[in-house]
Structure 1
Amino acid sequence: FKDILRIDHMWILPNLTKLSLNFNKIEVIEHIEMLTELKELNLSFNLIEKIENLDTLINLETLSLYSNKIKKIENLESLEKLEILSIGKNLINSIQGVDRFRFMNSLRVLNLEGNPIAQNPDFPLSQYVITLLPNLHYYEYTFIKSEMREKAQIRFSRELREIEYLQEKEIQARELQAREESEARRLASSFVDHLDGNQLFDSFWRDDADGRVLMLVGQQAQELAEEYEKDVFELTQEIYKLGLKRFVERDEEIRDFMDNLLDGQKELQSSGQKEIEDFLLYKATIFDEARITLRLLEQNVMHGDDEDSLENIKLSDTMHKLNVNFEDSLNDMWLVLMSQELHLHETIEESTTNFHRKISDMMSKFLEASQSFFVQLRE
């Protein structure tokens, strides 16, 4: 109830987990992409017209957009952890987008009541939603019983089969795209992208007007071009195979380097932890001795003993020795931890230098071999 017109200055709260801006005059969802730790977002009772700019809120579990001016269900698929969604009392007049909730596997509670699509007596929206979303537990805050789901599935069985078919095709397309992108990244990392086919040869002729004129000479020119295409393909395949081979070697070298680095850090952490634990045990022992000695001193003073009495002097000497021993032990632990840290730093520095040298050598050899192939192409 602050009459807030827009969302802004959220960058100062990157670790915010709950944000409530309901009952304001916000028209656009914006400037919240940095709130990646956000778990609950309440923007109900505003003037928002479009669901947008939520892609980065990967930890969001509860989202309320109740009573706004939203006309379309969209841009929610990336919220994989979303469990509760309320977009009731908006202006949504189409079921388009409801099927996209099937990709939100964590969604358990959904509210669409109060929208135009929920007011059509010839289309029971609740049954449609229950049919499409088998993981949903509550719709309009009412628990979905098994008999309700069975009845709904009978009513919308045809629509369900069609959506399942389309979803399966989309999943397959996504998997194919993911594999292609992964392969493209692998080839790019191998420095042989666009060399797994005739792409290089095709690029020779793409903007070569003289080459196209040469093809008009006749059959002999065509045969020469085909022979050259074959030679280019064979050489590019050699480069392609070499690049993949060198990529595997570099990848193994990188993994070994990272594994050794991690092992060294774990070993240092374990050794340092043992030093600290040993010191804490020693500290507990020496503090117990100090408490006993101090208590004896206090008792002697309370009983009227002179502070310079032989017994009190001995107790004071004991306290002094305990203090000196504790400080020496603390200093020794610090020296050990610092020496371990310094040793790790020197080891990492040496390993990094060797790693850089090995990678540079691998790259140089690969470039030299590739250059020899390109020389053959020119010849």
Structure 2
Amino acid sequence: MNWLYDSVEPRVMDEDMLKLAVGEQGPRDEAGQLARQEGILFKDVLSLRLDFQNILRIDNLWQFENLRKLQLDNNIIEKIEGLERLVHLVWLDLSFNNIEAIEGLDTLVNLEDLSLFNNRISKIDSLDALVKLQVLSLGNNEISHMMNIIYLRRFKDLRTLSLSGNPIAEEEDYKMFICAYLPDLVYLDFRRIDDHMKELAEIKHQYGIDELKQRENLIQAQLDDERAQREELEEHKAAFVEHLNGSFLFDSMYAEDVEGNKLAHLPGVSELLQAYKDKFVIICLNIFEYGLKQQEKRKVELDTFNECVQEAIQENREQGKRRIAKFEEMHLLSLNAIRDESEVTNLEMKIAEHSKDITELFNMLMTLEMQLVEQLEETINMFERNIMDLVALFIENVQSLMAQCRDLENHHHEKLLEISINTLEKILKGELDEDLPYDVRALFVDKDTIVNAVGTSHDLHLLKIDNREDELVTRTNSWCSHLVDAIHKDEIMRNRRRVKEIHQYVDHVQNELDNLECSEIID
């Protein structure tokens, strides 16, 4: 089964090999000569054949970013690697190599046909990203466990499977098991599966399939729940208020607060801390709910803006199309009239008149474009003011709510300091009835020590609040800035494309006239 090294020395997949392969597989005749003269860019190559090259390692394919088909069969490749950038790959042949494990395919999300025939693979795995997989060839490998078949159930589009030549194919229940657990499969080992075989397989393995489906449904429900949570988190992030719909910020304040956690053992602090937490969480929830409402307002503003822009562009284009359609009719009539004209004087006059018509068309189209530019500039400026006002209002109100969090922290700090000093006095007088942990008592050496401990806890809490506020403000402003910049850049690019289109069209009709004029002169 193994593809052994032959007498030829292993080769490196270098630039020279790739250029040679691209050149040999490129277009022929005149097109091929032109391509060889100008050179073929690797990014333009859609299909590449590198079979029988004695390649040991896959490398230097990163420039083939638009490759659809890659043939690497009949080499001595030992590891699947170097394919990360080939995200558009649809067909991949790695048959007749020395590959021992399936790996390195995580980015090939568009792959439909994969051949790993005649290698050394013993386990089917690491194919999860290949959601479009339709054809899988794994014949002549070392796969021996039937549980590998269960793994393939996740590929809903899989219709063709080859496993002949593996130890698994020698199992008595081989075909029945595969037909039962992969019911959508159409071809197995290059032969079509008949419906009768599928019915028998389903009956034979009914209990196992039902049990497996139940487990799969539970797993799928869990995955759906996790996906819903991720989507919800992304929505919260888009509103800049993620993790503010609960006690996350409060808990983070105490997660690294050694002194604060020690001081929580003091008499009366537990109740004080709970009251503080309840009020703090309410403010966080207010920020969270306000953030979602403001995000919806920003979304409505952006959607309205995009609709206005598209309507303006569409209306402007319709005007241009009507003018061009009217010109096209006149253009054909003028060209025919010029062709039919035999008098030189009249011919020159008609050519001059039509040249003037073309110039007028150009001026008219450019005027329309300038009108659109001015209209969109006004719309963009208005949107920019509106979105910046919304962002400024959002930040202002959030900062006000964050200030309330700081006020709560300051109040809690004062109360905690008061309790701590009272506790210190009781300890010094021997009047403290409660037993405190040793590390807590160690804080009550003197007033400076306990004041420093309470102050350290307080500073850490304020830092957490400040950091969360700074993060929210920074991200919100950054989002607004990037959005406005992107809108301005998009408009600049749109204008350039439109001007280019106008020039190309006018040049085209002018060339038609010029070519006609030349032919008339020659005649």
Equivalences for residues 251-290 of structure 1 within 5 A: 251-290=299-338
The 3 A distance-change label for structure 1 pair 102 and 352 is farther
* TM-score relative to the length of structure 1: 0.86
2:202 corresponds to: 153
* TM-score relative to the length of structure 2: 0.64
**Which of residues 192, 198, 217 is equivalent to 1:143?**
192
**Which of residues 177, 182, 186 is equivalent to 2:226?**
177
| Partner secondary structure for residue 56 of structure 2 | coil
Would you say the 8 A contact 1:77–1:101 is kept in 2?
A: no
Would you say the 8 A contact 1:9–1:31 is kept in 2?
A: yes
CA deviation after TM superposition for structure 1 residue 45, in Å: 1.1
Equivalences for residues 47-196 of structure 1 within 5 A: 47-121=98-172, 124-196=173-245
| Partner secondary structure for residue 11 of structure 1 | coil
Q: Percent identity of the aligned residues?
A: 33
Higher relative contact order (CA 8 A, sep 6+): 2
Measured in 1, the distance between the counterparts of 2:378 and 2:61 equals 43
Number of aligned residue pairs: 356
Measured in 2, the distance between the counterparts of 1:144 and 1:234 equals 62
CA deviation after TM superposition for structure 1 residue 148, in Å: 0.6
Deviates more, 1:8-17 or 1:264-273: 264-273
Deviates more, 1:67-76 or 1:245-254: 67-76
Would you say the 8 A contact 1:73–1:96 is kept in 2?
A: no
CA deviation after TM superposition for structure 1 residue 191, in Å: 1.6
Would you say the 8 A contact 1:63–1:86 is kept in 2?
A: yes
Q: Which amino acid letter does the alignment assign opposite residue 158 of structure 1? A: Y
CA deviation after TM superposition for structure 1 residue 181, in Å: 0.7
Measured in 2, the distance between the counterparts of 1:346 and 1:238 equals 41
1:378 corresponds to: 406
1:39 corresponds to: 90
Measured in 2, the distance between the counterparts of 1:291 and 1:16 equals 49
CA deviation after TM superposition for structure 1 residue 75, in Å: 2.3
Measured in 2, the distance between the counterparts of 1:8 and 1:322 equals 64
CA deviation after TM superposition for structure 1 residue 197, in Å: 0.9
The 3 A distance-change label for structure 1 pair 322 and 15 is farther
Deviation readout 1:21-42 (Å, 9 max, x if unpaired): 2111222222223223322211
Measured in 2, the distance between the counterparts of 1:61 and 1:206 equals 48
| Partner secondary structure for residue 217 of structure 1 | coil
| Partner secondary structure for residue 92 of structure 2 | strand
CA deviation after TM superposition for structure 1 residue 274, in Å: 3.9
Would you say the 8 A contact 1:22–1:46 is kept in 2?
A: yes
Deviation readout 1:86-124 (Å, 9 max, x if unpaired): 111112222334223333222211111111211223xx2
The answer to whether residue 284 in structure 2 is matched with residue 236 in structure 1 is yes
Q: Structure 2: where are the runs of 5+ without partners? A: 1-51, 408-523
CA deviation after TM superposition for structure 1 residue 254, in Å: 1.8
Q: Which amino acid letter does the alignment assign opposite residue 125 of structure 1? A: Y
Q: Structure 1: where are the runs of 5+ without partners? A: 298-314
The 3 A distance-change label for structure 1 pair 16 and 207 is closer
The 3 A distance-change label for structure 1 pair 222 and 74 is same
1:307 corresponds to: none
| Partner secondary structure for residue 5 of structure 1 | strand
2:250 corresponds to: 201
